[in-house]
């Protein structure tokens, strides 16, 4: 307990120490290059849902997974540059559950490093938390990430995350222990869109995509409001679908 408090204090004073190995990072971010190079990239993935493709699948002309071919999700594209491996899981869990907000620039850097600057997005929407969970956690991690990513959208002056268009109007149970069907039921009608989104190209920002149930529920609501194109920007994709 004392040790972890001391480590956190040291990190605050010396932000150039790596959040994973605790060594000097020798850069402006609290993540050293050797640790960064250990993170597994999501390079061969479905073009729509970003699930990693194995074996001969990635040689197919369409580069779509069987699930997207059979039942296309309501979002048009997922950008998930990393796999949710051990190191990234550690960073994300500390950021999210231990409230280490100073890790936000590291996570934004990791997304931007692979995804680059985007030009064709009108609205950036962080996945909203219900107000009660936001109050309990003290922040919405997707908002923090979206604020950093918005600076790099190539609109004039970047894009400020939109926090008004979508509301999560009822609390949903924590989803981490649920199967895909339970997640879908849990999220039915969880989001309301408060204004027309006619013809807009929208990016939804989330931390990790697991089954995609949250992104799908939100995308469905936005498409019903008129959105033309929906992308999901998240850090990582879980390597296998949670069934």
What are the residues binding Zn ion (CB under 5 A)?
18, 20-21, 32, 35, 46, 48-49, 65, 68
Alpha-carbon gap, residue 183 to 142, rounded angstroms: 19
In angstroms, give the least distance from the CB of 212 to Zn ion.
9
Which residue's CB is nearer to Zn ion, number 34 or number 196? Answer: 34
CB atoms under 10 Å from CB of 104, counted, come to 17
DSSP class of residue 160 equals P
Q: Rounded to the nearest whole angstrom, what is the least distance from the CB of residue 116 to Zn ion in the complex? A: 21
| Nearer of residues 49 and 108 to Zn ion, judged by Cβ | 49
In the complex, what is the shortest distance from the CB of residue 120 to Zn ion, in angstroms, rounded to a whole number?
A: 21
Closest approach of Zn ion to the CB of residue 107, in Å = 15
- Closer to Zn ion at the Cβ: 90 or 101? 90
Closest CB 86 distance from Zn ion, rounded Å: 13
**Cβ proximity to Zn ion, 76 vs 207, nearer residue:** 76
CA angle 181, 183, 187 (to 5 degrees): 120
- CA separation (Å) from 238 to 36, 51, 133, 162, 197? 18, 8, 23, 26, 30
Task: Decide whether 49 or 153 has the Cβ nearer to Zn ion.
Answer: 49
H or E segment to which residue 7 belongs: helix 2-13
3-state helix, strand, coil in the chain (%, to 5): 35, 15, 50
Q: Which two tokens stand for residue 152?
A: 């790099």
The CA distance from 24 to 201, in Å, is 41
């Amino acid at each position: 307990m004392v040790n972890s408090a001391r480590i956190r204090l040291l990190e605050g004073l010396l932000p150039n120490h790596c959040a994973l190995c605790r060594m000097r990072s020798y850069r402006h971010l609290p993540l050293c290059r050797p640790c960064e190079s250990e993170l597994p990239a999501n390079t061969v993935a479905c073009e729509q849902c970003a699930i990693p493709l194995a074996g001969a699948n990635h040689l197919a002309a369409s580069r779509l997974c069987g699930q997207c071919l059979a039942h296309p999700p309501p979002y048009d594209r997922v950008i998930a540059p990393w796999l949710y491996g051990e190191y990234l899981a550690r960073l994300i869990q500390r950021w999210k559950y231990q409230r280490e907000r100073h890790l936000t620039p590291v996570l934004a850097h990791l997304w931007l490093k692979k995804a680059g600057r985007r030009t064709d997005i009108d609205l950036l929407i962080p996945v909203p938390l219900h107000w009660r969970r936001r109050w309990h956690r003290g922040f919405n991690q997707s908002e923090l990430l979206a604020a950093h990513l918005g600076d790099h959208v190539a609109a004039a002056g970047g894009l400020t995350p939109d926090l008004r268009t979508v509301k999560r109007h009822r609390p949903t149970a924590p989803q981490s222990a649920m199967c895909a069907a339970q997640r879908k039921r849990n999220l039915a009608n969880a989001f309301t869109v408060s204004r027309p989104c006619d013809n807009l190209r929208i990016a939804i920002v989330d931390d990790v995509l697991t089954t995609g149930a949250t992104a799908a529920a939100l995308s469905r609501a936005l498409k019903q409001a008129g959105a033309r194109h929906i992308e999901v920007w998240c850090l990582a994709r879980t390597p296998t679908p949670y069934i």
